[in-house]
Structure 1
Amino acid sequence: MNASVLTASHYGVVRFGDLQCEAVVLKGGERGYVRRQLAKLLGFHETHKGGRFARFLADFAPNSLSELEKTREPILLPSGRQAQFFPAGIIADVASAVVSAAINGTLHKARQGIVPNCMKIMRALATTGEVALIDEATGYQYHRAPDALQELISKLLRQSCASWERRFHPDYYRAIYRLFGWKYQGHDQNPPHVVGQITQRWVYGPVLPADLIDEIRVRKGISQKHHQWLSDQGLARLETQIHAVTAIARSSTCYRDFNHRCTAAFAGGSLQLALLADELEEVA
């Protein structure tokens, strides 16, 4: 892997009202967005050259260009996909400048269409704040709260590895295989690597904080499975998530459709984790 590729340790979807944008926290703690998605909210689609977006930023947030120059190299998302990074701390200035230009009558008519989106972005940031929005969307708030995280670890993980039991029903694999046009041959078949990636992202990811998954990786042996380290409460959450992902896979027309549906259902994983923390507190 190219040494210049930075890695996102946390990923989620920020919501500016009814708008959505992929958000990330890099391993060094820097917060930001997937640039392509943020550009789309501002009227620049994949068919547009990156230079047009840069010129737009130069008009409305000229001080941001130096920050963008520092992040020209791609970043690696937890899914394995590469993307361009757009650092936090810029979008508020851009949205504000666009709205001000519209109010003053100096906004070019070709850009009038992005004013409603900029208003939504401004309202969301005024209510919550950009850092809090990203931390909530990506689950990074749990990384910043080690005491709360340790409490979750103590309740969701076992002290020692349990004996292996089947946790993923053949129906789960049949549903996932169908998305790729593959035929499931039974548990003796070694699943393709992509199936493991889907399981990590959409089964374990939404119900377990990234730091808890890292803790399992530290504890477990080569032949052990993640679920062998989960407590009864952790297994109950896992079981529910397996059923949910299986249902989505069965009703999806293809992998792209499945991925969109899972993103809509689970990418705001911090909400689920907050509910999980509440549930654990109630039964403690």
Structure 2
Amino acid sequence: MNASTLSASHCGVVHFGDLDCEAVVLTTGERGYVRKQVAKLLGVHENNTGHRFRQILADFSPKSLSELDKFESPISLPSGRRAQFFPAGVITQIASGVIDAALDHTLHRARRKLVPNCMKIMRSLATTGEVALIDEATGYQHHRAPDALQELISKLLRQSCASWERRFHPDYYRALYRLFNSRYQGHEQNPPHVIGQITLRWVYGPVLPEDLLGEIRNRKGISQKHHQWLSEQGLAHLESQIHAVTAIARSSMSYADFKRRCESAFAGTPLQLGLLAEELAEVA
């Protein structure tokens, strides 16, 4: 793709908590950001060569480098200004990778300063997908075609219940049990009812619209779990939210503190079917 021939039809500012990043939609419909602002968003103090930023991409999202090279030439913004384009989708991979490395205690000490910004990014994206955030900021949402519930169901749900596989890592339960001064003993342990309530409210709730959760409840049997009905795309949304909730739980001082943080990060306007369907269509 020759980015020198491309221009942005819509432009705006996406808010990741108290962090801002200039977002654009190309005339081709592709969403993304002004590249130098992405480095600033992540907390990377960049030099003129962009070496530090590319190294982070290589470590946490290596496949994105080839995608980035497609947009090596500047694009034209509506204001007439020219800037380098950074495609949507990569920010999530980087932020998730940084947080995972921090939880696994494998994050290099020099990069620990990236964690706070990455947490803010993941909390924002757990509530609203990247494409929806960009469309809202740029006004492009008014140009999208409407999407039906059935189309969304076909993308996020399976036709039949899958066999059970572990989707919630022991670290998730350890972090939550700690909030109640209890110790997680393993998957054979029957978790308290409050753990199930937390999972429904703060893991499933922010990433699946109520209409979709209702569809799962109608389909699943008594012994089946919600995640057994999710497609690969649905599971990807779920896993990202599990990481975000685990990180909040591990850094919370008490259950009350955890609840306040979740309410601040995830509560608000319910996830809209149309926005989620549009996001999935973009990454398909």
Q: TM-score, normalised by structure 2?
A: 0.49
TM-score using structure 1 length: 0.49
